[in-house]
Structure 1
Amino acid sequence: MIDPTEPEQDTSGGRDVSLILLIPNMVTLMGLSFGLTGIRFAMEGYFTWAVILIMLSALADLFDGLLARRLGAQSEMGAQLDSLSDFLCFGVAPAILVYEVHLGDFGGLGWIFALIFAVSACLRLARFNVMSGQAEPGEAPKRYFVGVPAPAGAFLGLFPVFLSNLGLIDPGSAPLLVCVWLAVVGALMISNLKTPSPKGVKVPRRMVAVLFFATVIAMGLIFTRPWLLLVIMDAAYLAVIMVALVRAKGRLFG
């Protein structure tokens, strides 16, 4: 006979989870939703909104990791969920957007290069997962990325879209060059090229004031010339990659 004064036992084997620990995964799902909606808008011709949503997914990708570390909510499921979200937001969504803006009239060849970009992002993320699994507990975070990270690759891949929104090129123009560009960015993502992570970048003391002024200018451009700002950011990151290429001395894929 069951004693009604005894507390009911949970025989399901489960246990309650703190809501705080779920917040990083909820942010990841928000980013995934942004990426999926960006794909929808790209297919419906709302290209500006598609770019904005991909940018929002990048912000979500930044904050979910920060929250997980701050809250002590890192988990294997969260890591896998984040990787799957990154593939969709920074591999699939940019590929579809570039295809819709510049390669739709180029037929199957344009789609092939869109696939190359998306698959390269997938391979980059798969390698990142493997390398993360091999890291020793308590090991200091790496001060460089091996290959261009998927979010950075996404914004490099969107460079032709930024140029068209800035009015420098017409949508659908130079599709062959856009195909080559997607292939180059894809190759950079799967290469052994070492690019510095934010933790590895050092700023000379005399450049600190310049960096602060550049930040203020960037804030102004966000509200006045956002497409110009995105082009400048891509160009600056390309400069970093060029320096890394010079230092690589031909060992990109070895």
Structure 2
Amino acid sequence: MIRRDPGSGRMPLLQLLPNVVTILGLSAGLTSIRFAFDDNLAFAAGLLIFAALIDLLDGLLARRLDAASPMGAELDSLSDFVCFGVAPALLIYRFGLSELYGLGWLAALFLAICCCLRLARFNVMSKDPEIDVKGHFVGVPAPAGAMLALMPAFLLLSGIWDTRDLPMLVAAWAVFVGVLMIARFRTISLKTMRIDRDNAVYVLLGAGVVVGLMLTRLWLFCVLSGVIYLSLLAWGVLQHRRQRKEG
């Protein structure tokens, strides 16, 4: 819970920092929608990447500052729905699905609703003491789902492929990502993976390459990250099933 100054009854300003950061991420998501409808795909997508990074930061700050609160949890969930449900759906519709009219809008709606259902299920599971969520997660988390949903935009921005040429494929991809978010498959969390000391040097070199790509070829980095994430996701599902059989 958030601690208050016992002498004044006021809340320390530092304890409000995680909520301020969450609101910053929410502002980025809302602004992304504005730039999407101004036909500025690069800035709109960049703001959603920024919102995803902010989502990692606010939770870390809440734990470090011992500033977790019910209000902060609800605010974070509402912000996640806007940033990783509504904004990506509208962005993809604007740049890849608008030519399909009603069908494209249904695909965008499906993506946003699946994100909402994923967040609602996570909130219920995290509050149920009988459900063990450590070491694995059910379905794809909302921020990761949003980044996967933006793959058509990343492919376009990186110059690899103009995905607007095949809007039906973009619609199918949006539906596929939505299914990944609400599906009840279990996969081990990347947080539980351990790195051997013998491989630490290679991991550091890989991290250097990743940072270099992110700074110089951001959109290519996003495409490669999506491909790697899907590969790790499939591997994690297989590992979780193997662990259950052995256990």
Indicate whether the TM-score tops 0.5.
yes
For residue 56 of structure 1, the aligned residue among 43, 50, 61 is 50
Gaps of 5+ in 1: 1-13, 250-254
CA drift of 1:247 comes to: 5.3
Q: How many residues align?
A: 234
- Name the residue aligned to 2:120: 126
Question: Percent of pairs identical after alignment?
Answer: 47
> Retained in 1: the 8 A contact 2:126–2:133?
no
Pairing 1:169-248 to 2, within 5 Å after superposition: 169-246=161-238
> Retained in 2: the 8 A contact 1:148–1:195?
no
Pairing 1:39-50 to 2, within 5 Å after superposition: 39-50=33-44
> Retained in 1: the 8 A contact 2:187–2:239?
no
* C-alpha distance in 2 between matches for 1:19 and 1:38: 28
- Name the residue aligned to 2:3: none
> Retained in 2: the 8 A contact 1:144–1:194?
yes
CA drift of 1:246 comes to: 4.1
CA drift of 1:52 comes to: 1.0
TM-score by length of 2: 0.89
> Retained in 2: the 8 A contact 1:104–1:172?
no
* C-alpha distance in 2 between matches for 1:195 and 1:101: 32
The code of the aligned residue for 1:130 comes to V
- Name the residue aligned to 1:151: 143
* C-alpha distance in 1 between matches for 2:236 and 2:212: 30
User: Residue 246 and residue 22 in structure 1: after superposition, are their counterparts in 2 closer, same or farther (change >3 A)?
Assistant: same
> Retained in 2: the 8 A contact 1:94–1:157?
yes
Gaps of 5+ in 2: 1-7, 242-247
For residue 101 of structure 2, the aligned residue among 107, 110, 117 is 107
* C-alpha distance in 1 between matches for 2:93 and 2:200: 40
* C-alpha distance in 1 between matches for 2:69 and 2:212: 38
**Aligned structure 1 segments of 4 or more residues deviating by more than 6 angstroms:** none
TM-score by length of 1: 0.87
More deviation in 223-232 or 166-175?
A: 166-175
Q: Could you say which structure has the larger radius of gyration? A: 1
* C-alpha distance in 2 between matches for 1:246 and 1:197: 12
For residue 16 of structure 1, the aligned residue among 5, 10, 17 is 10
> Retained in 1: the 8 A contact 2:28–2:50?
yes
* C-alpha distance in 2 between matches for 1:175 and 1:241: 26
> Retained in 2: the 8 A contact 1:144–1:196?
yes
CA drift of 1:195 comes to: 2.8
SS in 1 for 2:137: strand
* C-alpha distance in 2 between matches for 1:39 and 1:196: 33
Are 1:164 and 2:135 an aligned pair? no
Instruction: Write the deviation string for residues 61-91 of structure 1: whole angstroms up to 9, x where unpaired.
Output: 1111111111111000100000000000001
* C-alpha distance in 2 between matches for 1:133 and 1:221: 39
* C-alpha distance in 1 between matches for 2:114 and 2:193: 25
Instruction: Write the deviation string for residues 87-118 of structure 1: whole angstroms up to 9, x where unpaired.
Output: 00001111111111111111110010001000
* C-alpha distance in 2 between matches for 1:223 and 1:18: 36
More deviation in 174-183 or 201-210?
A: 201-210
> Retained in 1: the 8 A contact 2:80–2:143?
yes
The code of the aligned residue for 2:89 comes to A
SS in 2 for 1:44: coil
